[in-house]
Structure 1
Amino acid sequence: MKKFLLFTLKTLIFTIVIAVALDFIYTAIYLQSSNRGKVDHVYNSKKENFDVVILGSSRANNHFVAQMFEDKGLKTFNYGMSGGHLFEADLLLKLMLERHYKIKNVILEADLNLSNKRRDYGISSKFLPYLHQSETVKKHFSNEDDFLEMYYIPFYRYIKFDERIGFREFYNTTLKKSTNVLNHQGYYPLINRKGNMKNNIVNLKPLLHNQYYEEIKQICKDNNINFIAVMTPMCENTKGIEYFNKVQKLYPEIHNYENVVVEDKYFSSCGHLNDTGARLFTARILKDFFSK
């Protein structure tokens, strides 16, 4: 029995040592990465200056052509993240300020994600390598149900989110393999192929108080950043399109651009403009908010 207990204790100690070592190695590699995605790009940068920063989900990532802002003399980057929620947009903005970014304008795509205050399982995991290094990341995750195990159990977060920050991503990061995420100042153009051109958002209801939206708005106010919140286009064959009117009643400061681009030929799928549509939409935003 003593031999068994001793063996068990040694195995446990060995496992903990290995977990701590792996946690240290993985984190050290991610702390050197800046070309894999928008989160590591921000975390491992400092003192950037932008005229315009764009935040949101894929409906920001695919809808705002950053180069068109640049052509107007506005230094711009599209930090929209496909699949991301306001939880991640809020945290990314906080990280920018932690890194002493100077930002004049924030454009936030705020429409469908106003209906929830959850984090996205995949996108949020991109912040987790910095959980112990950044007080901002730690505080932002501190109220999540799985925070304690992610923070205190070594290597747990890398195992739990293996498909996002596990071995494959660690390997590619080690080799400094870049992705196309940072191309075109963060804007991701969609080709003209047609995806699903019908959508049903009948069951979506904007929250009366979305914590992360309110935090973004307050952060901009506190840092003298001009805050521009917009709703972006969706195809005509959308059931429950009145959702956008509900948003504007609850949040009258959000500008409704849902019907600025309407023809199906300008969409890649019902919720995402193709590159041609995105350029039409971006031109309208530039005209309304940045024309001299």
Structure 2
Amino acid sequence: MKQFLFYALRIIIITLLIAVVLDGLYTYVFLHSKNRGKIETVLNSKAKKLDVVILGSSRANNHFVSQMFEDKGLKTFNYGMSGGHLFEASLMLKLMIEKKYEIKNVILEADLNLSNDKESDGIAAKFLPYIHNSKVIEKHFSDQDNFNELYYLPFYRYIKYDSKIGFREVYKIIKGESTNALDNLGYYPLVKHKNGNMKNNIVNLNPLPKNKYYEEIKNICKANNINFIAVMTPMCENVKGMNYFDKVKKAYPEIHNYENVVQEDKYFSSCGHMNDTGARIFTGRILSDFFGKK
């Protein structure tokens, strides 16, 4: 029995040592990644000066044409992340402040994601390689149910989220493979799809009375003298439950409703995402209304 216990203990110790070593190696690789995505671009960057920072989900990523801001003399980057929630948008802004970014304006796409204050597993996972290297990330995740496992168990986060930060991603970083996430100053243009879904139902969607991460973004901007611009972006014509946007306006009067600025289906790739033509019309309106640029 003693021999068995000793053998089992040796296996456990060896496994832990391997986990610690792998954790260190993976983390080292991520700390030297610069061309794979928006998160590591901020984390591994030096302080920047930006006139406009754009935050939000795919409805920010696909709707704000960064180059149009640049053409008007506004240094801009679109940090919208497809699949992201306000949990991740808030964390991105916190990291920029931690990195001493000087930001004049934050434009936040704040509409559908006001209905939840959850993390987006697929996007939140991409912050986890840095959880021991950034106090901001550590604190942001500290309220999550699985924080202890993610923080204290070596290599656990890389196993749990293998599809996002596992071996394949590490291999691509080492090879120096880039993605299109940083192209077009962060803006991702969409095309009109013949089979795009032009129907949506948001009847059962309701904004939270006080979304924690929306409030964080607003307060961070106030504390750092950043002009905060929150907007609702367009959806296609065939949406059931469009009074959701009225509910948002009632709960958050400071959010500007641009839901109906672009309406015709020809300007959409899918019901919730404009194509490049629609995005340019929308961005032009934002530039005119908030920056006096026509």
TM class by smaller structure: over 0.9
| Counterpart Cα distance in 2 of 1:158 and 1:84 | 19
| Counterpart Cα distance in 2 of 1:282 and 1:148 | 42
- Encode CA deviations 1:23-51: one digit per residue, 9 max, x unaligned: 00000000000110010111000211100
- Measured after TM superposition, the shift of residue 191 of structure 1 is 1.0
| Counterpart Cα distance in 2 of 1:101 and 1:126 | 21
Structure 2 equivalent of residue 240 of structure 1: 241
Partner-residue secondary structure (3-state), 2:54 = strand
Structure 1 equivalent of residue 213 of structure 2: 212
- Measured after TM superposition, the shift of residue 285 of structure 1 is 0.2
- Measured after TM superposition, the shift of residue 81 of structure 1 is 0.1
Task: Describe how 1:161-240 pairs up with structure 2 within 5 A.
Answer: 161-194=161-194, 195-240=196-241
| Counterpart Cα distance in 2 of 1:48 and 1:176 | 24
Structure 1 equivalent of residue 139 of structure 2: 139
Structure 2 equivalent of residue 113 of structure 1: 113
Task: Describe how 1:58-97 pairs up with structure 2 within 5 A.
Answer: 58-97=58-97
Question: Deviating runs (4+, > 3 A) in structure 1?
Answer: none
Structure 2 equivalent of residue 16 of structure 1: 16
Structure 2 equivalent of residue 152 of structure 1: 152
AA paired with 2:116?
N
Q: What's the TM-score, normalizing by structure 2? A: 0.99
Percent identity of paired positions between Structure 1 and Structure 2: 70
- Encode CA deviations 1:216-251: one digit per residue, 9 max, x unaligned: 000000000000000000001000010000000010
Q: Check if 1:127 corresponds to 2:127.
A: yes
Structure 2 equivalent of residue 265 of structure 1: 266
| Counterpart Cα distance in 2 of 1:155 and 1:58 | 30
Structure 1 equivalent of residue 36 of structure 2: 36
| Counterpart Cα distance in 2 of 1:274 and 1:120 | 24
Partner-residue secondary structure (3-state), 1:228 = strand
- Encode CA deviations 1:63-119: one digit per residue, 9 max, x unaligned: 000000000000000000000000000000000011110000000000000000000
| Counterpart Cα distance in 2 of 1:147 and 1:174 | 28
| Counterpart Cα distance in 2 of 1:132 and 1:176 | 24
Partner-residue secondary structure (3-state), 2:63 = coil
Q: Give unmatched runs, 5+ long, in structure 1.
A: none
Structure 1 equivalent of residue 45 of structure 2: 45
Partner-residue secondary structure (3-state), 1:137 = helix
- Measured after TM superposition, the shift of residue 291 of structure 1 is 1.0
Structure 2 equivalent of residue 255 of structure 1: 256
Aligned length: 292
| Counterpart Cα distance in 2 of 1:203 and 1:246 | 12
AA paired with 1:258?
E
Q: Give unmatched runs, 5+ long, in structure 2.
A: none
AA paired with 1:165?
I
Which is further off, 133-142 or 166-175?
166-175
AA paired with 2:160?
K
| Counterpart Cα distance in 2 of 1:203 and 1:121 | 22
